[in-house]
Amino acid sequence: MDTPKENFSEWYNSIIKDARLCDLRYNLKGFVVIEPNAADVMGRMYRIYEDALELRGHRKAYFPSLIHEKNLETEKEHVEGFAPEVFWVTEAGKNKLEERMLMRPTSETAIYPMYALWINGKSDLPLKIYQSCQVWRYETKATKPFIRTREFHWIEAHDVFATEAEALAQIDEDMQMAEDIIHDSFGIPFIFFKRPQWDKFAGAVDTFAADTLLPDGKTLQLPSTHNLGTNFAKSFGIKYMDDDGQEKYAHQTTYGPCISRIFAALIAIHGDSKGLILPFHLANVQVAIIPIIRKGNEEKILPFARELEATLSKSFRTKLDDSDNTPGFKYNYWELNGCPVRIEVGERDIDSGRAMVARRDTGEKSQVPFEELPAYIEELGKQINDSLIRKADSDFAALQKSADTLEELKSALDSGGGFVKVPFCSDKMEAEACAEKAKDYCSANIRGSKHEGEEKPEGKKCIGCGKEATIYLYAARQY
Q: Mean pLDDT of all residues in the chain?
A: 95
Query: Across residues 433-439, what is the average pLDDT?
Result: 96
330 and 433 housed in the same domain: no
Does the pLDDT value for residue 2 go beyond 70? Answer: no
pLDDT at 135: 96
Q: What is the pTM of this model?
A: 0.94
404 and 382 housed in the same domain: no
174 and 255 housed in the same domain: yes
316 and 439 housed in the same domain: no
**Cα separations (Å) of 195 from 12, 48, 276, 475?**
28, 27, 32, 11
Q: Give domain status of residue 237, yes or no.
A: yes
257 and 358 housed in the same domain: no
pLDDT at 1: 65
Q: Give domain status of residue 186, yes or no.
A: yes
375 and 405 housed in the same domain: no
pLDDT at 82: 80
404 and 432 housed in the same domain: yes
Total count of domains within the chain: 3
| CATH number of the domain within which 332 lies | 3.40.50.800
| CATH number of the domain within which 469 lies | 3.30.110.30
Does the pLDDT value for residue 447 go beyond 70? Answer: yes
Neighbouring residues of 443: CB distance < 8 A, sequence distance ≥ 6: 413, 477
Last residue of a domain, one of 270, 298, 325: 270
197 and 307 housed in the same domain: no
Query: Across residues 281-293, what is the average pLDDT?
Result: 96
Residue 176 to residue 127: CA distance in whole angstroms: 20
Q: Give domain status of residue 450, yes or no.
A: yes
Residue 446 to residue 327: CA distance in whole angstroms: 50
112 and 226 housed in the same domain: yes
pLDDT at 243: 85
305 and 363 housed in the same domain: yes
343 and 245 housed in the same domain: no
Instruction: List the single range of 66-75, 198-207, 264-273, 421-430 with lowest mean pLDDT.
Output: 66-75
Neighbouring residues of 402: CB distance < 8 A, sequence distance ≥ 6: 412, 420, 421, 422
State residue 214 phi and psi, 5-degree precision.
-85, 170
Does the pLDDT value for residue 264 go beyond 90? Answer: yes
341 and 424 housed in the same domain: no
Of residues 176, 192, 177, the one with CA closest to residue 53: 177
Q: Give domain status of residue 14, yes or no.
A: yes
Does the pLDDT value for residue 460 go beyond 80? Answer: yes
Query: Across residues 116-139, what is the average pLDDT?
Result: 96
Between 246 and 82, residue with greater pLDDT: 246
State which residues form the domain around 265: 8-270
Region of 219 please: left (phi>0), alpha (psi -120 to 50) or beta: beta
Does the pLDDT value for residue 313 go beyond 70? Answer: yes
| CATH number of the domain within which 221 lies | 3.30.930.10
Neighbours of 224 (CB within 10 A): 23
Instruction: List the single range of 82-86, 174-178, 267-271, 382-386 with lowest mean pLDDT.
Output: 82-86
